[in-house]
Chain A
Amino acid sequence: MTATALDTPPAGPGDKPPAGRGAARKRRRTGRGRVRRGALPYLLLLPALLLELLIHLVPMAVGVVMSFKELTQRYIRDWGEAPWAGLDNFRIAVDFDAPVGEALLRSFFITCAFTVLAVGFSWLLGVTAAILMQDAFRGRGLLRAIFLTPYALPVYTAVITWSFMLQRDNGLVNHVIHDQLGLTSQPTFWLIGDNAFVSLVLVSVWRTWPFAFLVLTAALQNIPREVYEASAIDGAGIWQQIRRITLPSLRPVNQVLVLVLFLWTFNDFNVPYILFGKSAPESADIISIHIYQSSFVTWNFGAGSAMSVLLLLFLLVVTAGYLLLTSRGRKAASA
């Protein structure tokens, strides 16, 4: 959703004062003095701007600087003293034949697979539920509350509960699959080994789909009812209405929603960190965990920063490409 303002200028209807009233206003306003009037929007923005600078932009710049430094444990107290490393940190990160680069590349591919699966399923469940619940029926309010609960739960309590459910010996999942249904000959390990990837996708989808559902529910309320009424008079059935009216109307929201879900999922740290602890199993070695670990285990912050910068570049390229593609698609559709 962050992207609507990126591809369309945020010029609201309020940008041009209506002529007649504007004249009266101008007369009144000139009495207050030009400077103050011109400065007012900036004063209103100032607190937000300062915070963004202190917490987001300056640390970002520092992070980029750090990626060019040999910032090992020796220099951590006095990081200004750390010697420049040039592109060494980056060279190590992208040397895919050496262990560090190889591990980074593998982590990157795992993250891509995880993101595609988690975003895909989350969107699918969200859009299905939103459409099925578009029209009122008995219990819809209650059902909506139930569906939103996973999103409302603090992420750590939800994921801790999942980690309990996924325990090998006393968890619910193995109780159902092994004890009750007898599908496996041995209780499965869900939190270590290759299955950890499946667990991660499962928990992530459980946590994310309600957000897609929430956004799409809100979007559906903006489709005028008359459109449906007119098509019903023309004899369109409900399945046809969904295909011809509902899904196309959701397109603009979907474009932004998928981008946001992609960015959140790709950068997600909380779910794997709480599910697996500080060291994720190889199959679920998501990139943010991977960088966190390579920074804090080896205390080589320069290399960690270089990896973060590469990650940011990748996200920038993907986002820009996505926005370009979707805005072109939109233009083509409206032409």
Chain B
Amino acid sequence: MHSSPTAPPRSFVWTRRIVLTLLTVFAVTPVYVMLSSSLKPLEDVTGSFQWIPSGLTIRPYLDIWDTVPLARYFVNSLIVAGAATACSVVIAVFAAYAVSRYRFRGKRLFTVTVLSTQMFPGILFLLPLFLIFVNIGNTTGIALYGSRGGLILTYMTFTLPFSIWMLVGYLDSIPRDLDEAALVDGCGPLKALFRVVVPAAVPGIVAVAIYSFMTAWGEVLFASVMTNDVTRTLSVGLQGYATQTEVYWNQVMAASLVVSLPIVAGFLLLQRYLVAGLTAGAVK
């Protein structure tokens, strides 16, 4: 081990087996519950819990769409998270390029201010932001409160600090000679950014995009205040199953699975980028 030619001692191998097995049980149990319960008939989830379903049914997967307007929430979440991610990544690349490649007055102030916003408790600016959105709507007619646009703006800002910080680290690890050569060849700075720096920074950019999308897909607090019936996203909409007079747990689990699947699949496919992006950027 540790690339030494000798095999690791038995004590290490056994520790590893036992600990990793326990952690696996801890990590997957809820996933198993979600999956198995989503395929159970209703009797199985109202009585005492059963590890093995008494019978399998896809009924819950058909019913979830009628109990709450899940399809609409899904589309809303897709629009909000997709747009927020796209905008946030572009803006973060610009900002990170400036911080990584230029010296300018106020650079330290900028980075410190932006990063310190990560410390703010969300509850502190939830209410002011709500009031500002309402007031902007009243004075200019731009509807931010209750609209997808307002939520998109909010989410793209939430993810900016971490994204910029991670990308600065990543861009710093790309040799300056690369874009300087492009500048010498007569490219403008923006052309150098898009032709040379961005292609070299793909793992970092993908990592930032995953992070942004997951944040926007999962946010609850602002979504619960900033959306209305039409623009409601999944994070709030899913709670609709629990407010029914009787909770159909098999449907709740089926809906949870449907909502989780795209994001978990995407995450697991792209996770090596996240590790690479973190290795180069964050933990250096």
Flag if B95 contacts A57 (CB, 8 Å). Answer: no
On whether A237 and B220 interact (CB within 8 A), knowing A5-B112, A316-B119, the answer reads no
**Quick check: is B52 within 8 A (CB to CB) of the other chain?**
no
On whether A210 and B27 interact (CB within 8 A), knowing A55-B154, A238-B8, the answer reads yes
Flag if B23 contacts A129 (CB, 8 Å). Answer: yes
How far does the Cβ of B283 sit from chain A's closest Cβ, in whole Å? Answer: 4
Q: Give bound CA distance, A230 to B35, whole Å.
A: 48
Contact for B20 among A129, A150, A210, CB less than 8 A = A129
User: Which A residues between 151 and 172 are near B, CB-CB below 8 angstroms?
Assistant: 152-158, 160-162, 164-165, 169-172
Residues of B within 8 A of A239 (CB): 11-12
**Quick check: is B113 within 8 A (CB to CB) of the other chain?**
yes
Residues of A within 8 A of B219 (CB): 270
On whether A153 and B6 interact (CB within 8 A), knowing A210-B27, A315-B119, the answer reads no
Q: Give bound CA distance, A21 to B111, whole Å.
A: 28
**Quick check: is A222 within 8 A (CB to CB) of the other chain?**
yes
Contact for B161 among A2, A174, A316, CB less than 8 A = A2
Q: Give bound CA distance, A274 to B218, whole Å.
A: 12
How far does the Cβ of A313 sit from chain B's closest Cβ, in whole Å? Answer: 11
How far does the Cβ of B37 sit from chain A's closest Cβ, in whole Å? Answer: 7
**Quick check: is B99 within 8 A (CB to CB) of the other chain?**
yes
User: Which B residues between 8 and 48 are near A, CB-CB below 8 angstroms?
Assistant: 8-9, 11-12, 15-16, 19-20, 23-24, 26-31, 33-34, 37, 45-48
Q: Give bound CA distance, A103 to B34, whole Å.
A: 36
On whether A14 and B100 interact (CB within 8 A), knowing A51-B91, A267-B122, the answer reads yes
Flag if A41 contacts B104 (CB, 8 Å). Answer: yes
Flag if A153 contacts B103 (CB, 8 Å). Answer: no
Flag if B168 contacts A12 (CB, 8 Å). Answer: yes
**Quick check: is A147 within 8 A (CB to CB) of the other chain?**
yes
**Chain B proximity mask over A1-31: 1 for CB below 8 Å, otherwise 0:** 1111110011011110110010011001100
**Quick check: is B183 within 8 A (CB to CB) of the other chain?**
yes
Total interface residues on B, CB under 8 Å, equals 117
Flag if B235 contacts A56 (CB, 8 Å). Answer: no
On whether A56 and B125 interact (CB within 8 A), knowing A25-B183, A143-B20, A157-B259, the answer reads yes
On whether A21 and B3 interact (CB within 8 A), knowing A156-B239, A215-B282, the answer reads no
Flag if B27 contacts A147 (CB, 8 Å). Answer: yes
* Chain B residues within CB distance 8 Å of chain A: 1-4, 6, 8-9, 11-12, 15-16, 19-20, 23-24, 26-31, 33-34, 37, 45-50, 91-92, 94-95, 97-104, 107-108, 110-129, 131-132, 153-154, 156-158, 160-162, 164-165, 168, 171-172, 176-177, 180, 183-184, 186, 189, 214, 217-221, 234-235, 238-239, 242, 249, 252-253, 256-257, 259-260, 263-264, 267-268, 271, 274-276, 278-279, 282-284
Considering the complex of A and B, which 5 residue pairs feature the smallest CB-CB distances, nearest first? Answer: A12-B172, A232-B4, A157-B256, A62-B128, A55-B157
A156-B234, A156-B235 known; 13 other A-B pairs, CB under 8 Å?
Answer: A47-B95, A54-B153, A57-B117, A62-B131, A63-B124, A157-B238, A162-B30, A165-B33, A206-B27, A218-B282, A228-B4, A269-B123, A312-B119
